[in-house]
Amino acid sequence: MIIALHVIIALSSILLGLVALVRPSRALLNLSYSFITLTLMSGVLVALTATVRVPQLCLTAFVYCGGMATASLLARRKLAHVPVRSDD
C-alpha cells in the first residue's frame, strides 16, 4: 500500500514540476517543493519497510532528484524573468 501511495505522490510531483516549468508561479513552485519533500519522505519509508534492492532504489532516487532539481531551477529562473505588474 505504501508503494502505491509513494508512486502516486511521485507522479503528482513530476506533474507539478512540469506545470511549474511551463507556467511558473510562486505558489506552484512551493507546492512542487512540498511534493518533492513528500516523495523523498515516502521513498525513505518504502526503503525501510519494503524488500527492494538498494542499488536500484538509489539510482531511481538520484534520477528523480536530478530531474526535479533541474525542473525547479528552470522554473525559478523563468519566474525571475517575469515582469512584476504594478496597479498604479
CA nearest neighbour of 35 among 58, 12, 52, 54? 12
**By the 8 A CB rule, do 72 and 34 touch?**
no
**Whole-angstrom distance, CA of residue 23 vs CA of residue 5:** 26
Q: pLDDT tens-digit profile of 20-56?
A: 888 888 888 889 889 989 988 988 888 888 776 766 7
**Whole-angstrom distance, CA of residue 61 vs CA of residue 43:** 8
**Does the pLDDT at position 77 exceed 80?**
yes
Cell of 46: 518504502
pLDDT in the model for residue 29: 87
The total of other beta-carbon atoms located within 10 Å of residue 5's CB is 13
Q: pLDDT tens-digit profile of 1-27?
A: 788 888 899 899 999 988 988 888 888
pLDDT in the model for residue 58: 74
- Domain residue limits, the chain: 2-80
